[in-house]
Amino acid sequence: MKFLDQAKIYVRSGDGGDGVTAFRREKYIEFGGPDGGNGGRGGDIIFEAVPNLNTLIDFRYTQHFRARKGGNGAGSDRTGAAASDVVIQVPIGTQIMDDDRETMLADLDAAGKRIVLCRGGDGGRGNAHYKTSTNRAPRRSDKGWPGEERWVWLRLKLIADAGLVGLPNAGKSTFLSVVSAARPKIADYPFTTLHPQLGVVRLSMTEEFVLADIPGLIEGAHEGHGLGDRFLGHVERCAVLLHLIDGAAGDVVEAWRTIRNELVEYGGGLADKPEIVVLNKADAMTPQQLSARKRALAKASGSPVMVMSGVSRQGVPEVLRALYERVAEARTKRAEAAADTDVAS
């Protein structure tokens, strides 16, 4: 399945049905009076987050969504039928943006979450509605109210607990394939990963988290170099970032600074997220190189540096444990915040 995380679509809710002018005319009933019914309500446009989707590829081929108009009223005080709603199913983590691509209209970040984006128009009134003691034969009836329409952008931000960042060929895809059942493409050239990948990491029967791998960043990614930095949106929701650095590549400090600069330029709070710095490919360095590069990286980053090898799995359990501890801490904070909100409401 092709991965697509952005799509522009047109949505329009249904117009309301028209009210009618009608009079009751039956034999032996001298004064029948007005009995024109109201129009039915137009259909809504509803977005719903569902768990069985992970891409917006369907919206590349279907870009226009229109709800039906409500039924017109009829004589004998018959109200027109309300039109059915149009429910658009999107992956969990989809954000609905206005046409300016800056104003967020909704963030569907939980399964089953719904939003009525465009409300259907109300039905028009029939002439029976305008009957009064002084106006016994009104001939007024209204047209249905128009629905709403707009162009919107859908942007998918994957729901993951931890995110992998680093330069191309830092070993992110190899690490994901080792610690989860995901099978990303792995090769010895840059930009092997062209779209985000998710994997579920299980440490035990009760300890697991979702890990996201995104395409590698290079210097100037925020200016469109390489594959750009748009994919960083998929790690905005992560509780912790795992910054992998290729220890065998040489200047590990410059590699760390390059990625940190891109995180700052991207914004979205990524630069402020907890970060675990890992010196990867320990099996490709001599003990002297490993010691010197680890020391230099710790001095530059101001944080402890972990060492591992995705190929030999050296240090991998320790890295996973450190990731899970950060994820568990974030989950606890979210649960406490949700409990406080429930109490306040």
Q: Which residues are annotated as a binding site for Mg(2+)?
A: 173, 193
**Spatial strand order in the sheet of 114-118:** 86-91, 45-50, 114-118
Q: Would you report the helix, strand and coil content of the chain in percent, each value rounded to 5?
A: 25, 25, 50
Contact 221, 253 (CB under 8 A): no
DSSP-assigned states of every residue in 235-294: GTT-SEEEEEEEGGGS-HHHHHHHHHHHHHHH-TTGGGS-EEEEEE-GGGS-HHHHHHHH
Q: How many secondary structure helices (H) and strands (E) does the chain include?
A: 5, 14
Q: What is the CA radius of gyration of the chain?
A: 29
Q: How far apart are CA 88 and CA 99, in angstroms?
A: 18
Question: Binding site membership for GTP: which residues?
Answer: 166-173, 191-195, 213-216, 280-283, 309-311
Question: Binding site membership: which residues?
Answer: 166-173, 191-195, 213-216, 280-283, 309-311
Which residues touch 284 (CB under 8 Å, ≥6 apart)? 247, 248, 309
**Token code pair at residue 257:** 């600074």
Helix (H, G, I), strand (E, B) or coil at 116: strand
Q: How far apart are CA 47 and CA 112, in angstroms?
A: 10
